[in-house]
Structure 1
Amino acid sequence: MRTGVLDIGSNAANLRVVDAGTGAAPVPVFRQKAPTGLADAIGADGTVSASGIRRLVGAVEATVAAARAQRVDELIPYVTSAVRDATNRDEILGVLRARTGLEVGFLSGEEEARLTYFAVHRWYGWSTGPLSLLDIGGGSMEIARGRDEDPTLAVSLPLGAGRLTRSHLPEHPARRRHVKRLRAHVRAVLAPMRRTASPGTVVATSKTFKQLSRFAGRPGTTPGTRLLHRHDLHAWIPRLAAMTPDERAKLPGVRAARARHLLAGAVVAETAMKTFRVDVVEVCPWALREGILLRRLEPLPLPDTLRTMRLDGPPAAGVSDLDDYRRRSRTYR
């Protein structure tokens, strides 16, 4: 069956299409992004502006059209924290329903953490042992820990790179006092978790960590991964603070749409690693979208807040080689 996951986030509507079946590894066949610009359309009261909603609708319409062109049988559309936490969330979901015909779901922060951890656990396999997950999005940061496929700890904190840029970094280049204030804020939010252990392998996901690892990291031990050392990240923070967004966008792997939020993401990442006494994280290419796809292929159901949408088109055959999916994931990444 050809399945699509549509991640409607603060920067883009991100469509991933795979061929998959029960017991078979999902094979990536198509991907498309359409910018939403929500990160810059959220007011101080948490309301997404009318222009932001129009851009969002246009992005979703474009990706849904692409899904139909790819003859997707089943589409799973969802919004992340940018819309989930918006004060006019119901209005946004109503407009999307009216304009696109989609019943767009959303996950709680804890559900996002659990599904992302599930994907990471599948990437590394049972032999890895205990895992800790750090994920920095646009509006929130997810942390999960455990040994099995279902984590024993899964939390979501309001430490997203876009959210903190709006609240703590009004100028770019950033003033030293603003960076210091941001670091203190992140430290305070993480303080209640300081005494919790960070067992085994510590893995990071999300575009924030991927971008940071491209220019501040090193090749990982597993194909498709990269390592990010805390002391390297610490050295980059004052350099990022001294740059304009245009200058940051020239760094390897950094997209212009995310360049303004890169400094906040770096401060959160470095502060979290220091809080949990982590010297290095491995950045995994699988995250929330893969977690949703993999869970869809399991006998266990998806969370009730997600809806699968049937689209026209014949089912496509899947394959059963997980290594092949990993190889193709790196090709389409």
Structure 2
Amino acid sequence: MRIAAIDVGSNSIRLLVADAPADGVITPVLRDLQTTRLGQGFAGGRLADAAVHRTLDVIKDFVRQARRAGAEKVVLAATSAVRDAANREDFIHAVYGATGYALRVLSGEEEARLSYLGVTGALGDVRDALVIDIGGGSTEFIWPGQGGIRFRSVNAGAVRMTESGFGSGQIRAVFGDILRDIRPDSPADMIGVGGTVTTLAAMAQEMRTYDPDKVHGYRLTAAKVGKLYHALRKLPVAARQKMPGLQPERADIIPAGALILLRVLQGLNMDSVLVSEADILYGLIIWEAREMS
């Protein structure tokens, strides 16, 4: 069965079309990503009109692409920016009016569970690992604890931290509670998903052209994250945009995302993170395939 998933995030809108047997590994057919910065200027608690219009245009285009690719089912899901917006219902209605598809707004826990489902669908048994998904508006943590798998969402991501004028002390304070909760369970490894982590993996390999096969399974060290962060924060945005592996549209927010990852690695005394291309998009498709079987 061919299924399309569209992830409406705070920073970017992503499309994955894949063949998805109910009891097998999914096979990607088409991917696309457009940066619309839906969460831009969110300090007032509302999605900005300009950001909404940019995002609707991309969603409509992605739905058309999915149909042309032969998708039998199209799933749309939104995360932090829409979840927290005072005008979320207006946005949901606008998406339906533009596409004819309902937009599912995920809770923080649902977002974490679907990211975990995507990772396990691609990497298999990761019961001893912490999974971290650094998004634009929030960061999700999934890890093995007493009584089973634990899921937590922290309302801080690369866009939100950038717009709030992030600092090292601020990020330590925001993530302090969750790191204290994770430490007693002592996860053996860390798996990272989301645009911040995959971008840093591409930058570490100095990719001129993004190659998901080289990003997936890459072992990104804390030392390399630290070097990248310190290099990034010394450069103006225009200079960052020329760095290999970095999408120009992400140049303003990547320092905040890198610092979040660095502080989490340091706070848990881990020396590296395993990068996964499989994330919430994979999770949405796997879930839908199971529901339709």
Q: Would you call these one fold, judging by a TM-score over 0.5?
A: yes
Residues 144 and 151 in structure 1, CA contact (< 8 A), matched pair in contact too: no
2:129 alignment partner AA: L
Residues 7 and 76 in structure 2, CA contact (< 8 A), matched pair in contact too: yes
Look up the match of 1:201.
189
Residues 135 and 205 in structure 1, CA contact (< 8 A), matched pair in contact too: yes
Cα offset for 1:19? 2.0
5 Å matches for 1:35-114?
Answer: 35-40=35-40, 42-114=41-113
Look up the match of 1:33.
33
Task: Spell out, residue by residue over 1:243-283, the C-alpha distance to the aligned partner (whole angstroms, 9 max, x if none).
Answer: 12222222222111111110000110011111111111111
Distance 1:151 1:4 in 2: 30
Matched residue SS, 1:196: helix
Distance 1:192 1:59 in 2: 39
Cα offset for 1:187? 4.6
**Structure 1's 285 and 33: CA in aligned 2 closer, same or farther, altered over 3 A?**
closer
Residues 186 and 271 in structure 1, CA contact (< 8 A), matched pair in contact too: no
Cα offset for 1:151? 5.6
| RMSD (CA atoms) | 2.5
Cα offset for 1:189? 4.8
Matched residue SS, 2:164: helix
Residues 130 and 199 in structure 1, CA contact (< 8 A), matched pair in contact too: yes
- Whether 1:296 and 2:292 are equivalent positions in the alignment is no
Look up the match of 1:282.
274
* 5+ residue gaps, structure 1: 170-178, 302-333
Distance 2:122 2:256 in 1: 28
Distance 2:56 2:175 in 1: 36
Residues 217 and 226 in structure 1, CA contact (< 8 A), matched pair in contact too: no
Matched residue SS, 1:260: coil
Look up the match of 1:131.
129
Cα offset for 1:103? 0.9
Residues 127 and 143 in structure 2, CA contact (< 8 A), matched pair in contact too: no
Look up the match of 2:230.
238
Look up the match of 2:153.
156
Residues 114 and 151 in structure 1, CA contact (< 8 A), matched pair in contact too: no
Look up the match of 2:204.
216
Cα offset for 1:13? 2.3
Look up the match of 2:121.
122
Distance 2:203 2:14 in 1: 23
Distance 1:188 1:23 in 2: 39
Residues matched between the structures, number: 285
Distance 1:216 1:223 in 2: 10
**Structure 1's 137 and 28: CA in aligned 2 closer, same or farther, altered over 3 A?**
same
Distance 1:87 1:210 in 2: 31
Task: Spell out, residue by residue over 1:13-32, the C-alpha distance to the aligned partner (whole angstroms, 9 max, x if none).
Answer: 21111123323432211223
Cα offset for 1:162? 0.4
Q: Percent identity?
A: 28
Higher Rg: 1
- Whether 1:166 and 2:163 are equivalent positions in the alignment is yes
TM-score by length of 1: 0.78
Residues 45 and 87 in structure 1, CA contact (< 8 A), matched pair in contact too: no
Matched residue SS, 2:22: coil
Distance 2:262 2:278 in 1: 21
Cα offset for 1:158? 1.2
Structure number with the bigger relative contact order (C-alpha 8 A, sep ≥ 6) is 1
Look up the match of 2:209.
none
Matched residue SS, 1:77: strand
Look up the match of 2:210.
none
Cα offset for 1:206? 0.8
Cα offset for 1:34? 3.5
Runs of 4+ in structure 1 over 4 Å off:
none
Residues 189 and 270 in structure 2, CA contact (< 8 A), matched pair in contact too: no
5 Å matches for 1:241-280?
Answer: 241-280=233-272
Distance 2:163 2:113 in 1: 27
Look up the match of 1:328.
none
Task: Spell out, residue by residue over 1:60-100, the C-alpha distance to the aligned partner (whole angstroms, 9 max, x if none).
Answer: 11111112222321111111212111121111111112222
* 5+ residue gaps, structure 2: 207-213
